[in-house]
Structure 1
């Protein structure tokens, strides 16, 4: 199988990118976390920027920064994972429809509300005519994009593929997630998320994009080895599913140096993480991230960014640790994420 290297990357989230070096997090006492504002005008034309929703801005900004880091003009393909798409434009169109009493409306917001708007806008800006795909498989949308990248890179004409995940919040629709218990009822400090013993979590917006190439470069962060997604896993079968995934990559649990877990403080579904924290991975470094960046359908792309950064820097900042086990010179990192007990994703990376 063709090897895949992370040759450039960028992220936007409720935390600054330099949190990896400073260990100083942003704190929030609310349950819907905004992404930190960026100097978008530095690499996106102001006139173009005015018409973009938050998700499109974040995705395009990260894409261009990742390309700059990889020293690539444009990718051979664009693959984007987004669980909820451009909610702000969806909300805008629906509000206008109500105000106009279902009269004639400008179609702009409707056109820009589709999930594939993000990938389309990136392609237009980069003048990229290669394959352009959007994956909307809820919380495994990003993993689905990674799987497609593994297939696409086997094409001998493809050297670099842009892969990313993005989800945004909106003023009204995001709040609806309180109705079915996805968002916690009580206000909570994000740094205390894992102490919570209630249902729901904290929701956020974020984006992370990567240049995946078949050739290693001096700037490469890590190598992506494998990805697997499951629609459902019974908690009693979780260990065997993880072991099977490792086995097909010729690895045992003892060879994994760190595991990044999508634990999010939801009493109902953190049981999955608790099981492997206390069992399979009790003796290795455990890493969390949702107490810092919150939960959304594309947040596993942040975990991928974090794993790549750890493998490049060969260190794990204390702010991300879930236990006290040190991780010196990490070689293999496993990412495990699920949401609401469904859509489980496993991703494996190694140092280079």
Structure 2
């Protein structure tokens, strides 16, 4: 089977990541429990008249896909595969509110049409005039990994050459209130540097979009090779160490072969123990984390994927994401691990190409 490469990246997050010439050079500070994406100038990518009618998730998806395509030096892809947990949740909230406010009468269909989870992938296809395979995965916090696994299969089997893959989620006011009520969001405002010092349950919620051009053809823009992705719906904490070691062993690797471990710690006192277990397992490996910069959302792991890609290509690890003080002379093999509230565990293995 063919190797699969990350040929380009595009990111919009709570940090200024849409500029691919920079790599977390300037950190956007906050003191809150809900953080919003830093917006690029959307009119540089989308006509203003069209952008006004688009939900934020759609705009973020279109812009990051265009950034990724431009960096990959291609105008078209064979497929578009999107992962999202909540889709265009703001339009979903608008439509449900209108049902209640108007007593189920005189409803405009536009918010309903734009609220479906596959709207982002569809709008990207319209922008690119792409008539190929277009699929959206809604698998909670492994939505992005599911999209990557689909692309991997197609590229490895040479059914496609270039596939646009991404993860996107936006914040909605009503949905955010519900998460606060059920303690999924931290009760207190917190800063990025203090997130892991928090002793409360819940996370800092965020939003963002991260798109990548994956290909079975290596190019001069390639960031890294995707070796493997594996997911588990349920995984007991005591079995985590064995599963991580077994995953590496499948690719003839041991814990000593890793140059970097990237973890999805979000400061939730009830569930960060999973990350602590893996952190102890790889105690001799340099470690990093990222949700203090991006916030927590269903496809936040796509931001971790972006981080790993940039680290391998630039061969540098920004100080703001370091989880321990260990250093290495090069970043060749990187393992990412993520879970949310004890479910939907994922391992992603990348290496230098």
Q: TM-score, normalised by structure 2?
A: 0.97
Residue number in structure 2 paired with 1:255: 257
Cα drift, residue 84 of structure 1: 0.9
Q: How far apart, CA to CA, are the structure 1 residues paired with 2:156 and 2:90?
A: 36
Structure 1 unaligned regions, length at least 5: none
What's the counterpart of residue 334 of structure 2? 333
Deviates more, 1:186-195 or 1:200-209: 186-195
Residue number in structure 2 paired with 1:217: 219
**Per-residue deviation at 1:142?**
0.3
Change (3 A) 1:86 1:22: closer
Quote the Cα distance in structure 2 between the aligned partners of 1:23 and 1:194. 22
Unmatched 5+ stretches in structure 2 = none
Checking the alignment, whether the CA contact within 8 Å between 1:190 and 1:202 is kept in structure 2 is: no
Which whole-Å CA distance do the structure 1 matches of 2:171 and 2:328 have between them?
Answer: 34
1:290 equivalent in structure 2:
291
Q: CA separation in 1, counterparts of 2:311 and 2:122?
A: 31
1:56–1:294 distance in 2 versus 1, CA, 3 Å: same
User: Following superposition of structure 1 onto structure 2, how do residues 47-126 of structure 1 map, counting pairs within 5 Å?
Assistant: 47-126=49-128
Q: Residue 227 of structure 1: SS of its match in structure 2?
A: strand
1:334 CA displacement: 0.3
d(CA) in 2 for partners of 1:25 and 1:55? 22
Q: 1:16, CA displacement in angstroms?
A: 1.0
- Does the CA-based 8 Å contact 1:23-1:318 persist in structure 2? no
Equivalent position SS for 1:307: helix
d(CA) in 2 for partners of 1:6 and 1:293? 21
Q: Which residue of 2 aligns with 1:139?
A: 141
CA apart distance, 1:181: 1.4
1:137 CA displacement? 0.6
CA displacement at 1:190 relative to structure 2: 2.7
Deviation at 1:309, TM superposition (A): 0.4
Match of 1:308 in 2: 309
Contact 2:35/2:295 (8 A) holds in 1: yes
Structure 1 counterpart SS, 2:66: helix
* Alignment correspondent of 1:11: 11
Residues 191-235 of structure 1 deviation map (CA, whole Å, 9 limit, x = unaligned): 210110110010001110000011111111111110000001101
Cα deviation, residue 344, structure 1: 0.3
Deviates further, 200-209 or 151-160: 151-160
- Inter-partner Cα distance in structure 1 for 2:47 and 2:25: 33
Deviates more, 1:256-265 or 1:97-106: 97-106
User: Aligned residue for 1:27?
Assistant: 29
Q: Which stretch shifts more, 23-32 or 330-339?
A: 23-32
Q: In 1, Cα distance between the equivalents of 2:65 and 2:23?
A: 22
Distance 1:327 1:85 in 2: 39
Report if the CA contact (8 A) 1:162-1:211 is conserved.
yes
Number of aligned residue pairs: 351
Cα distance in 2 between the residues matched to 1:23 and 1:43: 23
Q: Residues 23 and 319 of structure 1 are in contact (CA less than 8 Å); yes or no, is this contact kept in structure 2?
A: no
Query: What displacement does 1:74 show?
Result: 1.3
Say if 1:166 and 1:206, in contact at 8 Å, map to a contact too: yes
1:51-87 per-position Cα deviation (integer Å, ceiling 9, x unaligned): 1101010000000110010011111000000011110
Contact 2:186 2:202 in 1 (8 A): yes
Maintained 8 Å contact 1:315/1:327: no
1:344 maps to 2:349? no
Pair 1:46-2:64 in alignment: no
Moved more, 24-33 or 205-214: 24-33
Deviations 1:326-347 (A, max 9, x none): 1321110000000000000110
TM-score by length of 1: 0.97
